[in-house]
Amino acid sequence: MQACLVSPLYSPSRGTGFVCDPTPGRHTAAPMSRIDADSADIAPYPELQFQNVGRYEYKNKGSASMTVSCYWQVGTCAGVCYYPVIFFGNFRLIEFINSVTGWDMDIHEALKTGARIQTLRQCFNLREGIKPSDIKLPKRMIGIPPKMEGPLKGVTIDIESLRKEFYKKMGFDVNSGEPTKSTLKDLELDKIVTAE
């Protein structure tokens, strides 16, 4: 069963991270897999507590996936270990950062910061010629053809719906993965990121 835990067939939202994160294919770049546990308290903030999320639900997961991904970007940029930020459920990351920096950041500012980080990472890849739309999971990892036996027998996941939902909530074009002009403006990145 251990091999199942890192499989998108077991946790489809892990597949979202595998194909949508600017460093694709890394299990640590897929913190949104935690929402596939039906209920998940990622952190002690209401914005990061999720209930009744179906493991094999492919629509309406984008918002939760985006929120967890942006939160993780803040944690990783602060140099905090993956486990307390994503798995403990009670780690007060925002208070930790505020104590160290003297800032007065709230969860909404933190999530916007995470969105800026994630968007800049995406823009870096685009600048370097990496097309997000080219990043695909091997068919076997999405269940084509479906397994004939075992705990994941018959499972095929809709990775394209998960990708599009995530990109839509991030403010990226759902087909190309490129951040929209309005997203860049909202995140105050329009002066930094220019199309040339």
pLDDT of residue 194: 64
pLDDT for res 173: 96
81 found inside a domain = yes
pLDDT at residue 66 is higher than 80: yes
Nearest to 40, CA basis, from 28, 53, 56, 27: 53
Q: What is the mean pLDDT of the chain?
A: 92
pLDDT at 193: 75
Would you state the pLDDT for residue 2?
Answer: 45
State how many domains the chain has: 1
Indicate the burial class of 1 (C-beta count within 10 angstroms; 0-12, 13-18, 19 or more).
exposed
Residue at 109 is within a domain: yes
- Tell me the CA distances in angstroms from 147 to 101, 140, 142, 144, 193, one per residue in order: 50, 9, 10, 8, 44
Q: Which domain holds residue 118?
A: 2-186
- Does residue 59 fall inside a structural domain? yes
Domain assignment present for 194 = no
SS3 39: strand
The pTM assigned to this predicted structure is 0.92
pLDDT higher than 60, residue 22 = yes
Look at residue 192 and tell me if it is in a domain.
Answer: no
Question: Would 8 be classed as within a structural domain?
Answer: yes
Distance CA 160, CA 156 (A): 12
The band of 195, judged by pLDDT with boundaries at 50, 70 and 90, is low
CATH number at residue 147: 1.10.599.10
SS3 for 60-126 is: CCHHHHHHHHHHHHHHHHCCCCHHHHHHHCCCCHHHHHHHHHCCCCCHHHHHHHHHHHHHHHHHHHH
Predicted local distance difference test score (pLDDT) of residue 1: 43
Instruction: In whole angstroms, give the CA distance from residue 142 to residue 155.
Output: 8
Least confident of 31-40, 58-67, 124-133: 31-40
Name 59's Cβ contacts closer than 8 Å, sequence gap at least 6: 161, 165
Higher per-residue pLDDT: 20 or 4: 20
Average pLDDT, integer, range 116-128: 95
8 Å CB contact between 155 and 9: yes
Q: Write down the pLDDT at residue 38.
A: 81
- Within-domain flag for 193: no
Which pLDDT band holds residue 6 (cuts at 50, 70, 90)?
A: confident
For residue 73, tell me if it sits in a domain.
yes
Other beta carbons within 10 angstroms of residue 172's beta carbon come to 23
| Cβ atoms of residues 30 and 55 within 8 Å | no
Amino acid 192: pLDDT: 83
Task: Read off the pLDDT of each residue in 9-21 and give the average, rounded to a whole number.
Answer: 94
